[in-house]
Amino acid sequence: MEVDKFLKDMPLKQIFSKSRFGSLYLFWTVFVALSFVTRTVLFVKSLPVLDLTPWLLIRIYGVGLFFDIVAAAYFSIPLILYLTLIPDKIYQGRFHKPVVYFSSFVILYLLIFNSFAEYFFFDEFGVRFNFIAVDYLVYTHEVVKNIMESYPMPAILTAIAVISLIILMSFRKSIDSSIAVRSSLKQRIKSGFVLIFIPILSFAFVDLDLAKISANNYANELAANGVYSLFAAFRNNKINYETFYATGDDRAVFQKLRLLLSEKNSSFVNDNIFDVTREIKNAGEEKRLNVVVIVEESFSAEFLGVFGNKNNLTPTLDRLAKESILFTNMHATGTRTDRGLEAITLSVPPTPGRSIVKRPNNENMFSWGFMMKSKGYDTKFFYGGYGYFDNMNYFFGHNGFDVIDRTDFAKNEVVFENAWGVSDEDLFNKSIKEFNKSYKANRPFFALIMTTSNHRPYTYPDGRIDMPSHSGREGAVKYADYAIGKLIKDAQKEPWFKDTVFVIVADHCAGSAGKTSLPVKRYEIPLLIYSPSHFTQQRIDKLASQIDIAPTVLGLLNFSYRTKFFGKDILKMQPEQERALIGTYQKLGYVKNDRLVVLDIKKESTLYQFNRETGETKKIPPDRNLLNEALSYYQGANYLFEHNLNRF
């Protein structure tokens, strides 16, 4: 084979074939080579958004090679120990060679599979493996089923097997020679000690921050290694705020926070600086209307015609917008479903690491569910999939909601389902049945419905729209819009419709990748509040956040209530109070006017100016007052959660 001929002519031949550790060096070579190929494919894919210069190219591949070697060193720890400790009698025994070949094939297969997986992950999210990938490994049932429905997996897996076999056979002579080399335990320990020291040093001195080579986030992702990034995400699934982020004096932070949370119709219940509990007082009679919150999966504002889309993907929502209170400057707090549900339900800023939905000790939080239940409402959470995903069943079940998920659907209630659950129309049909039960019991209802259809594999029932199932994101968007239209049409036949408020919002955008780590424009989502019998059409362009949805709806209902929410009633919000909070699992952003404060680990903070129309950002000198506002929201939210002060 060509590879063997190439190795024969190389001075490095002895490295591979004249040492017990030759198979280890061979593994490192293949690992680094595959990482180089993967980086190059992703690099070509990212060219339109890279702002490439020769120096940036050198840094991408230079730093990338460093991370590839570090990742290979981590992965090789079991192999180093094995090669060091196994005696020659076993290592050169007749049954060992098949074991080596089989193990080598499996390792090659996994490495090549990883390269394919990285490409598909990067294609969807614009980043290397991260916190999202960690969750995907946890929720294997939905993820595996989704992958099988989205990609031609039999063909891909077969291709990976063939490529793995070709590479393995190309190196068979070097492997055989390495197996035949005799060695003493003393020799092996000396070599093994040196080799094991590489990952130990890497663990002590290397972290993912070294991949931050540019203000362009795509360049940073290319300089990283996907396998390393995945394990870094595992390691950092909980991030201690006080340890890693800029902080202020707790009393000063809460003094500022109480000022920021103040509204004209609110008053704090006591003088305890660490208590944000307020009484909201609204004059006049409360409107005990039903409230249905529809949380649309991955529904970016840019999909809607009212936001400028020309592809007619959302005829229903565009029509409803003309009869609704439409919020045109609304922002998701994060890039995952659990973040959106956290913000809508708890009205709190995103804290670093996992969302509260998935964190331990998340019971009995001050939630919209408990608040509505205290007003005499039936409160229900609907999800078309299995609610153990993202810990939804546990969180909602312990925070004021009755949970209805895929396990509660009878066979005749399901027209269509895919990896993520039943279709949106099946979910809405089930919801209407439950609303009818509450109405017949003479009880108002509050429902939060989490949809799934606008998600890869983008499949839905045939014949509903003019785009075939499994044809991509745009078809899924149009079907989701169709399902909302059907829900409204079906609800109009029910006696409770005229006294129901429909709140339509997204959990997050379809994509969060951008040149910057927190691209503000990629957090813009739609929010419509529709109740034609009670509210007249308005278009509100105030800068706002998902955490403001609950207080705004409660304001429209004219409720007086006790609250610990961080959000405000958008309709009563003064210009100087407008702000949005956005984040990833690590970076925390505070948006105000045309500026963005980004809080990051190592107690870093950076200020940017951004253009709302183009999404472009540029770094500007720090603003202490704006930083203090950001700290007040984020440090305050973290303090309350850690000290159990935001409970119902």
DSSP states of 334-374: -SSHHHHHHHHHH--PPPSSS-GGGSSS-TTBS-HHHHHHH
Burial of 618 (0-12, 13-18, 19+ CB in 10 A): exposed
Of 510, 542, 576, which closes a domain?
576
Is 60 exceeded by the pLDDT of residue 539?
Answer: yes
Q: Is residue 259 very low, low, confident or very high in pLDDT (cuts 50, 70, 90)?
A: very high
Give one DSSP letter per residue of 69-115, joined into a string: HHHHHHHTHHHHHHHHHS-HHHHTSTTHHHHHHHHHHHHHHHHHHHH
Separation in Å, CA 161 to CA 100, 145, 155, 455: 17, 21, 10, 29
DSSP 647: B
Domain co-membership, 429 together with 538 = yes
Give one DSSP letter per residue of 323-336, joined into a string: TSEEEEEEE-S-SS
Using DSSP, state whether 208 is helix, strand or coil: helix
Is 90 exceeded by the pLDDT of residue 435?
Answer: yes
Is 70 exceeded by the pLDDT of residue 22?
Answer: yes
Of 553, 576, 599, which closes a domain?
576
pLDDT score at 517: 76
Higher-scoring residue by pLDDT: 171, 235:
171
Is 80 exceeded by the pLDDT of residue 143?
Answer: no
- Going 456 to 460 to 466 to 467, the CA torsion angle's sign is positive
Domain co-membership, 223 together with 357 = no
Q: Give the CATH number of the domain where residue 380 resides.
A: 3.40.720.10
pLDDT score at 522: 93
Question: Which of 88-102, 134-148, 229-243, 446-460 is predicted with the least confidence, judged by mean pLDDT?
Answer: 134-148
**End-to-end alpha carbon distance in the chain:** 70
Domain co-membership, 180 together with 37 = yes
Q: Span 79-107, mean pLDDT? A: 91
Domain co-membership, 491 together with 564 = yes
Which residues touch 628 (CB under 8 Å, ≥6 apart)? 248, 256
Q: Is residue 17 very low, low, confident or very high in pLDDT (cuts 50, 70, 90)?
A: low
pLDDT digits (tens, 9 = 90+) for 400-410: 999 999 999 99
pLDDT score at 340: 98
The encoded tokens of residue 63 equal 């730093």
Q: Span 241-267, mean pLDDT? A: 94
Domain co-membership, 298 together with 223 = no
Domain contains 133 = yes
Domain contains 611 = no
Look at residues 310, 379, 374, 308 and name the one whose alpha carbon lies nearest to residue 345: 379
pLDDT score at 10: 43
The encoded tokens of residue 313 equal 């993907």
pLDDT score at 3: 40
Strand partners, 331: 524, 545
pLDDT digits (tens, 9 = 90+) for 24-81: 888 999 999 999 999 999 999 999 989 899 999 999 999 999 999 999 999 899 999 9
Q: Span 152-181, mean pLDDT? A: 90
Q: Span 79-94, mean pLDDT? A: 90
Q: Is residue 2 very low, low, confident or very high in pLDDT (cuts 50, 70, 90)?
A: very low
Domain co-membership, 374 together with 502 = yes
DSSP 609: E
Strand partners, 448: 293, 381
User: Alpha-carbon Rg of the chain, whole angstroms?
Assistant: 28
Domain co-membership, 217 together with 326 = no
Domain contains 622 = no
Strand partners, 403: 381
Domain contains 254 = no
pLDDT score at 139: 58
Is 90 exceeded by the pLDDT of residue 323?
Answer: yes
The encoded tokens of residue 635 equal 């440090």
pLDDT score at 9: 47
Is 90 exceeded by the pLDDT of residue 511?
Answer: no
Domain co-membership, 424 together with 505 = yes
Domain co-membership, 304 together with 452 = yes
Q: Is residue 132 very low, low, confident or very high in pLDDT (cuts 50, 70, 90)?
A: low
Is 50 exceeded by the pLDDT of residue 5?
Answer: no
Place of tokens 């979910």: 427
pLDDT score at 12: 47
The encoded tokens of residue 405 equal 């998920």
Of 214, 235, 256, which closes a domain?
235
Domain range holding 483? 289-576
Domain contains 265 = no
Domain co-membership, 11 together with 115 = yes
pLDDT score at 1: 42
Q: Span 1-19, mean pLDDT? A: 50
Which residues touch 86 (CB under 8 Å, ≥6 apart)? none
Domain contains 273 = no
Domain co-membership, 293 together with 231 = no
Is 90 exceeded by the pLDDT of residue 521?
Answer: yes
Place of tokens 């004219």: 558
> Which phi and psi (to 5°) does residue 500 adopt?
-125, 140
Domain co-membership, 39 together with 185 = yes
Q: Are 617 and 516 in contact (CB under 8 A)?
A: yes
Domain contains 593 = no
pLDDT score at 238: 63
CA dihedral 90→95→96→99, nearest 10 degrees, is -140
Domain contains 619 = no
Number of separate domains in the chain: 2
